Amino acid sequence: MLVLSRQRDESIIIGDNIVITIVDIRGDKVRLGIEAPTEIPVHRQEVYEAIQRENAKADAEGRVVRRPVKEKSCSKSPSAEA
């Protein structure tokens, strides 16, 4: 795992088209702004895991497994919560 230190309003670039910006730091919480193409799903880990469990359950029951739906649309603004 790569560990980086950043301060408020500083960013991390992943590849050519994903930017993660530190929007705010309050106590032990950090708010991140994520800019990514709409075709790249962006989820909090617990939401992603819930989607995976639901897809596995649907698959086991013979139902159609859906593709993950984004939590919230990505915005070009680094202050958008995603």
pLDDT tens digits along 17-75? 999 999 999 999 999 999 999 999 999 999 999 999 998 898 888 887 666 555 555 54
Q: How far is CA 58 from CA 21, 40, 42, 46, 48, in A?
A: 36, 23, 22, 18, 15
pLDDT at residue 63, as a whole number: 81
pTM over 0.85: no
Above 70 in pLDDT, residue 16? yes
Would you state the pLDDT for residue 59?
A: 84
Helix then strand then coil, % of the chain, to nearest 5? 20, 25, 55
The average pLDDT across 5-13 equals 97
